[in-house]
Amino acid sequence: MTTTWHERMTGWHKSRHTHWEENACVEVGTDGTLVGIRDTKQRELPSEVRPVLVVTATGFAALLTHLTG
């Protein structure tokens, strides 16, 4: 059986920068070296098909720095 990113990553939580009025929610989780980003609205999808964007922790930090300027 293959481990999904959803199982490999821990500490999944909603972003503090969620836009409720736009229904734009993302969750993030980590395995220590990688960070997973997934769409909260897709929680009903099975883990095997629910998409997860996976980036390095360094890449995620760079993304946050870029977005928060």
At 68 the pLDDT is 87
At 19 the pLDDT is 64
Give the whole-angstrom CA distance, residue 31 versus residue 41: 22
At 63 the pLDDT is 92
At 16 the pLDDT is 75
pLDDT along the chain (69 residues), means of 10: 83 77 82 93 87 95 91
State the residue for tokens 């997973």: 36
Q: What is the pTM of this model?
A: 0.81
At 57 the pLDDT is 96
State the residue for tokens 């969750």: 27
